[in-house]
């Protein structure tokens, strides 16, 4: 009866396929497919292509010059024109060109770099640049979905998707000398992706894409690394402020923790290091540095690395069930 009343009141409905059944049983809504397009839309404009040119002059007769161009990606970190990328992308470059996603080409200046994290900071003179979304305190976990944005093989901006496979990766024994804790993920990183953005599904920066795992003996796939956002941002700020990154060096390596989760066990002591000079030994368990109880390698790493060379830290250790206190003057970590 309701349908009949509607047809009488609105005659134009007679020519449609409307029925009373549809009034009481509306069609199911269309379920939208899962998409990361919004995240890419938020972050993509801030990921740039980087072309670095190196001019090499031969030492032979005639001294001919040759040019080589390296390809990479970068991330605009603030509207003042600071861009983060990998150091190996711009190493030895005589000129650096940044190409925005709008097609605008800009000349870039190398502000500084950090060999240990393979990060470099560039500066371009431009205004109203798109900035990648960032969230202070962002913590990444194994299993998080991530997207890698870059310019692989100069194909143009490309998105690859994966998950964070692990955090705190070092590629070998942990050395309490500098920050070396990378994110491991399976979002593909190819030539040209280096220095690009690793983002989460909100479009927030998770890390700076860095490298892929290489093993000459095996055909390894799906293992790639990125510098975590927190570390990359800290390194960038130091480079902007001083042009370089200075880190404290102790000179011990460890992969082990004490039972109960308090303290770390020394696996190796580098020769002529501050640790060796102070008498630290393999098997010593460091459970406190100054006033901080040590519960993880990462924590100890940060404490030592953030200490200015020449300053002294007090280490409390267990050695063969004896409690010892050792004062160690931290030195600067120098690249090999």
Q: Over the stretch 31-51, which tens digit does the pLDDT of each residue have? A: 878 899 999 999 999 999 999
Q: 25 vs 202, which has greater pLDDT?
A: 202
pLDDT tens readout for residues 157-184: 999 999 999 887 765 444 444 456 789 9
Q: Phi/psi zone of residue 143: left (φ > 0), alpha (ψ -120 to 50 degrees), beta?
A: left
Each as own residue / partner, the long-range contacts of residues 163-168 (CB below 8 Å, 24 or more positions apart, any chain) are 163/187, 164/140, 164/206, 165/223, 166/142, 167/140, 167/141, 167/142, 167/228, 168/298
Residue 316: the pLDDT is 94
Identify the three-state secondary structure at position 103. Answer: coil
- The residues annotated as belonging to the active site are 88, 118, 194
Structure pTM?
Answer: 0.78
pLDDT tens readout for residues 113-145: 998 889 999 999 998 899 999 999 898 999 999
CB-CB contact of 252 with 297 (8 Å)? no
DSSP string computed for 245-281 = ---EE--EEE-EE-TTS--EE--EE-TTSHHHHHT--
Q: What percent of the chain has pLDDT over 90?
A: 52
Sheet strand arrangement including 174-175: 174-175, 252-254, 268-269
- When pLDDT is averaged across residues 3-31 and rounded to a whole number, the result is 62
pLDDT tens readout for residues 306-335: 898 999 999 999 998 899 999 999 998 776
Residue 315: the pLDDT is 95
Q: What percent of the chain has pLDDT over 70?
A: 81
Q: 225 vs 65, which has greater pLDDT?
A: 225
288's tokens: 């406190």
- When pLDDT is averaged across residues 55-73 and rounded to a whole number, the result is 73
Instruction: Answer yes or no: is pLDDT of 268 > 50.
Output: yes
């Amino acid at each position: 009866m309701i349908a009949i009343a509607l047809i009488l009141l609105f005659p134009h409905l007679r020519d449609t396929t409307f029925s009373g059944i549809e009034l009481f049983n509306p069609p199911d809504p269309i379920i939208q497919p899962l998409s990361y397009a919004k995240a890419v839309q938020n972050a993509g404009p801030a990921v740039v292509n980087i072309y670095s040119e190196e001019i090499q002059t031969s030492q032979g007769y005639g001294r001919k010059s040759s040019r080589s161009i390296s390809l990479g990606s970068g991330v605009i970190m603030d509207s003042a024109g600071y861009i983060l990328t990998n150091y190996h992308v711009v190493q030895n470059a005589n000129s650096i060109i940044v190409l925005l996603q709008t097609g605008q080409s800009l000349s870039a200046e190398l502000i500084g770099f950090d060999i240990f994290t393979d990060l470099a900071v560039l500066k371009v003179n431009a205004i109203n640049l798109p900035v990648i979304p960032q969230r202070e305190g962002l913590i990444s976990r194994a299993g998080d979905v991530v997207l890698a944005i870059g310019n692989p093989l100069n194909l143009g901006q490309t998105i690859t998707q994966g998950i964070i496979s692990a955090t705190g990766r070092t590629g070998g024994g942990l050395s309490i000398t500098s920050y070396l804790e990378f994110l491991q993920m399976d979002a593909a990183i190819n030539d040209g992706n280096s220095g690009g953005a690793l983002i989460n599904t909100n479009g927030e920066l998770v890390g700076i894409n860095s490298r892929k795992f290489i093993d000459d003996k095996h055909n390894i796939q799906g293992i790639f690394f990125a510098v975590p956002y927190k570390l990359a941002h800290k390194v960038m700020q130091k480079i902007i402020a001083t042009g370089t990154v200075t880190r404290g060096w102790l000179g011990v390596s460890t992969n082990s923790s004490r039972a109960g989760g308090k303290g770390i066990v020394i696996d190796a002591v580098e020769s002529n290091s501050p640790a060796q000079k102070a008498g630290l030994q393999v098997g010593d368990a460091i459970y406190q540095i100054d006033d901080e109880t040590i519960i993880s390698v990462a924590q100890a790493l940060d404490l030592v690395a953030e200490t200015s060379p020449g300053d002294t830290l007090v280490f409390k250790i267990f050695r063969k069930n004896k409690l010892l206190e050792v004062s160690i003057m931290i030195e600067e970590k120098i690249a090999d």
